[in-house]
Structure 1
Amino acid sequence: MAVYISSLNSGSNGNCYYIGNENEAVLIDAGISCREIEKRMKCNGLSMEKVKAIFISHEHTDHIRGARVLSKKFQLPVYITPGTLQAGALEILPHLNVPYKAFDIIDIGKLRVKAFPKFHDAADPHSFTVSYEDIHIGIFTDIGQPCEQLVQHFKQCHAVFLEANYDVEMLDKGHYPYHLKQRIKGGHGHLSNHQALELFLQHRPEHLNLLLLSHLSKDNNNPQLVQSMFEKVCGGTKIVVASRYEASPVFKVIPSASFSASEQLKLF
């Protein structure tokens, strides 16, 4: 029993996350081109034949850019809320457009996907957990602030894609205009390094094997900085920074508490 996960891209230039077992997989968001998704999956030894659905978190371009073409080419259902579909003007073929709502639990083969609402400046934004038997993976990005739902789902996870978008000092001293800085840190924008670290320290479950720090800002963050922040206090959790330029390795996540963290996480 194992789940295989990879960040195919993570950042304001595009987001796409792969979660699957031996037989089926889902993509959370498709914010890079269909061609690039195919190429990165192939390079990672991942098969598009296993992908059974795309789940869309919200309508911003860096989360939907490749969804229409990918869905049409591979006849993949796109799970998307009506509000997100309308706000994103996303043209999904009618028979592939599958609406969902908050707290729906959707079975894709033996994978179980749960959606829950989050704080973000979008029409109807959601975060997800993807579960396979007793293994739970969280996809928690584009979060303006931690909420009780986020905390409760975080506590269940064996691996998490967690937003660490910006360093407060870099943002404050950076070149962004005032209104954009306020949007980013105003409670419906993005999660800072320190907010992500506080969530990790206060609510990390003992079985959290892997943390992929995600959606880092190109201008207002530094991968080495945030990696160092988390590695100082990571305990048995492996820390990986998801890139905005390339796919991460594929990680194998298993739930057994009888193995060390290094044995629980292996490249596929």
Structure 2
Amino acid sequence: MCLFITSLNSGSNGNCYYIGNDDEAILVDAGISCRETEKRMARLGLPMSKVKAIFVSHEHSDHIRGIPVLAKKFNLPVYITPGTLLHSGSMIDLQQVHNLKEFETVTIGALNITSFPKVHDAAEPHSFIVSCRDVKVGIFTDLGIVCDQLIRHFAQCHAAFLEANYDEEMLANGGYPYHLKRRISGGKGHLSNKQALDLFLTHRPAHMTHLLLAHLSKNNNDPQLVEDLFKNYADGVHVVVASRHEETPVYYIDGTGGKPLEVLGQLDLGLISPLPYPA
């Protein structure tokens, strides 16, 4: 059984990632509005009825802003750690809250979702691996450093959403105040293009087919720069830069490791944080 993946939005203005199979799907984060989430999924031919849960990586507003309305409208369980919920300032209905624990696997239909801790300036930040049978997709954004847990999980993936937030020279020479530059690059903020590329070059598995570069900074990065940088070293991996303005196409991940890319457009699949900051 394969997985279908898309980034509905990626950046400091909102993050939302879709991972599913033919029968069910989840969202990792929902930082854009309910209306915009529905609109973008509809353009891709992805019915909201497929979505069975929302998993929350951390409490920053660009990851949770749309959750209360989306979860209420579609009666979706929200998997969130107690610390993240406490610090979120979000109005999530507590009846919809499910306690998320690190390294625990949640099973939703044929999907298995495993969370693990990451380094970021949030209460209890987590990354995720979503698997369906032998196919694995990682969601790795908002990363201060490339830690051992990230390396171990990245090396399992057939596809991954991986943060490439900033170009080191652009950040250093840009107009952000010093304290914000330190926050972004100081080990609990975000991964630079170079850090993400080093992870990719050193630890990508032979069976990886797709890499979606995510959470690019509006002011300290350039999509074309990132795309060119990674495509120079792609070696058969299909590299996509996720937009902060629109959804990506839907990508089909079947775990065969060498099968040509299949991009699915209109699929027939059964038709408020106290810590926001620019990145």
Give deviations 1:82-117, integer Å, cap 9, x for gaps.
Answer: 100010122222221101111111001110000000
CA contact (8 A) 2:19 2:27 kept: yes
Shift of 1:11: 0.1
The answer to whether residue 270 in structure 2 is matched with residue 266 in structure 1 is no
CA distance in 2 between partners of 1:204 and 1:252 (Å):
19
Measure the CA separation in 1 of the matches of 2:5 and 2:219. 27
What percent identity do the matched residue pairs reach?
60
Task: Report Cα offsets for 1:213-241 as digits up to 9, x if no partner.
Answer: 00000000000101111000110100000
- Conserved in 2, the CA contact under 8 Å of 1:154 and 1:203? yes
Q: TM-score, normalised by structure 2?
A: 0.94
Tell me the alpha carbon deviations over residues 146-200 of structure 1, each in whole angstroms, 9 at most, x when there is no partner: 0000000000000000000000000000000000000000000000000000000
What residue number does 2:163 align with?
Answer: 163
Instruction: State yes or no: 1:82 paired with 2:87.
Output: no
Q: By how many angstroms is 1:265 displaced? A: 3.3
- Asked whether 1:145 is paired with 2:145, we answer yes
Question: What amino acid maps onto 2:263 in structure 1?
Answer: K
- Alignment check: 8 A CA contact 1:253 1:266 kept: no
Please show how residues 159-198 of structure 1 align to structure 2 within 5 Å: 159-198=159-198
Aligned to 1:106: 106
Distance 1:207 1:91 in 2: 41
1:6-21 alignment runs, 5 A limit? 6-21=6-21
Compare relative contact order (CA 8 Å, sep 6+) and give the higher one, 1 or 2: 2
Contact 2:212 2:240 in 1 (8 A): yes
In 2, the alpha carbon distance for the partners of 1:256 and 1:87 equals 41
Map 1:232-251 → 2, pairs under 5 A: 232-251=232-251
Q: How many residues align?
A: 265
Q: Quote the Cα distance in structure 2 between the aligned partners of 1:201 and 1:256.
A: 20
- Paired with 2:215 and 2:227, the residues of 1 have a C-alpha distance of 13
Does structure 2 conserve the Cα–Cα contact (< 8 Å) formed by 1:53 and 1:76?
yes
What displacement does 1:264 show? 4.4
Unaligned runs of 5+ in 2: 268-279
Which structure 1 segments of 5+ residues have no match?
none
The question of 1:95 aligning with 2:95 is answered yes
The alignment yields a C-alpha RMSD, in angstroms, of 0.8
Q: Which residue of 2 aligns with 1:28?
A: 28
Return the alpha-carbon distance in structure 2 between the equivalents of residues 135 and 181 of structure 1: 37
2:219 counterpart of 1:219: yes
